[in-house]
A and B are shown apart, each in its own frame.
Chain A
């Protein structure tokens, strides 16, 4: 029994990380109807940026966020202004193919610079610290921190989106880009800010991914898929729904892995497909009015 409690608890905590993968993806889709195929590779890029930062400055991975987050946000802004803004329009293909090309470029660029070797960020003491909840049920300090950060990230995005001028600009531009321009909103700038925000979240996700487990340049696409599954499971257009979707995915994977180690990822996909089959609008959809 405690066995299963541990499994589900671990799943929930990992789910926080998946929610972070998903939040940036969901944000971009909400604002500009773009699905960024390179999203997972950008998460891995953030992990390598953190690796370089920790190695050159001798700081811990959590401290490195001070550099990685603004740097990734700047990359996001420039990427949107220089490349992705040109792809937006009625046609689905250009954004898809360009971000797909970007994914290949990032993967092979990282491969050239860092080889295919496994890397990991060392967060020190916090990685091994655990708290005992009750007999036989333990909770790791790091997964707990990651979960709390995930909640904070979603809450912050929710606040920005619904309570600030920036969020208003995002929503107005998403509703009607032409009229938003008439109100003095430069949609190229608004989209670039949205991408910057998305990659700031990607940076946090990337650092936690890199502390939690080994990474190499090829693991990006799987992170994209986890994030995407969380978005669809949760329901489009709702950030807390996305968070819940991340948890569902995390628990599904943990349960699958507990039954058979080979079924971890498969169980997550199956959960996604079942939701798609029986409730394609997701668990907690926000109806756009």
Chain B
């Protein structure tokens, strides 16, 4: 714990209109660390990512990134500081080609390891389809475009929301197989996932959310299935 956290979330409340989705939530991510956020539907996982990314309002000091309070900052300014969100449902730009989607990701011109060439090395399947409309791809390939588009901004912190959603297990494994190569570049990762087994394998630490609060946290390898199940379902 000697290292200063890259991201420190402290006492974060989040609201959709009158509905409160997060209650005094705290968490942190150290540089180069991969963490998983798990929990049942409606536990507040996606809300947490959206709030960090600047799509939902927050107190400035509730989210501190690289020593700077960024809570409530507009999403485009958060992106410019080095946080990329791969949104749930992928959110590809349907009238743009695959490569244009990637270039939109790269338009912030942040320096770093990722460029079109490196992306196509990581995802060779995308290289040959780069001029196709993004909607012409399979679900798994679309998810790869979404991750690659996030990487193109060379973020310090990548947020992935449900990247296995709606995909066949073999495709999910194929996508997860790319994560070590991504993490090898020194990036930090927050993985929001329903697929607990995949998430635990890919990360070092886990936060389990329940009704907008952290119900359980610990090192991924130390947590028992019973403890997770208890925190997951609140039994």
Contact = CB atoms under 8 A, between A and B. Distances in A.
Given A168-B96, A175-B94, A289-B94, A180 B104 contact: yes
B63 to A, nearest CB: 15
**Chain A facing B: main interface SS:** helix
A183 B96 CA distance: 14
Interface stretch (B38-46, B71-79, B166-174): B71-79
Interface residues of A, number: 20
A73 B6 CA distance: 42
A173 B153 CA distance: 17
Contact of A168 (B53, B75, B103): B103
Interface string B61-101: 00000000000001111011000110100010111100011
A181 B153 contact: no
B95 A175 contact: yes
A282 B55 CA distance: 37
A49 B234 CA distance: 69
A172 B76 contact: no
A184 interface: yes
A182 B79 contact: yes
A181 B74 contact: yes
B100 A184 contact: no
Interface string A165-183: 1001101101110111111
Interface of B: 53-55, 74-77, 79-80, 84-85, 87, 91, 93-96, 100-101, 103-105, 107-108, 133, 135, 149, 153
A176 B104 contact: no
9 contacts: A168-B103, A169-B107, A172-B93, A178-B91, A179-B93, A181-B54, A181-B55, A184-B79, A185-B107
A288 interface: yes
A178 B76 CA distance: 10
Contacts of A289: 94-95, 133, 135
A180 B96 CA distance: 12
Nearest to A173: B93
Given A169-B107, A172-B104, A179 B95 contact: no
Contacts of A127: none
Given A165-B103, A186-B74, A172 B91 contact: no
From A169, A178, A181, name the one whose CB has the most chain B CB atoms within 10 angstroms: A181
A288 B95 CA distance: 7
A183 B104 contact: yes
Nearest to B135: A289
Given A168-B107, A181-B76, A183-B149, 16 more contacts: A168-B96, A171-B93, A174-B95, A176-B91, A176-B94, A178-B87, A180-B93, A180-B104, A182-B55, A182-B85, A182-B91, A183-B108, A183-B153, A184-B80, A184-B108, A185-B104
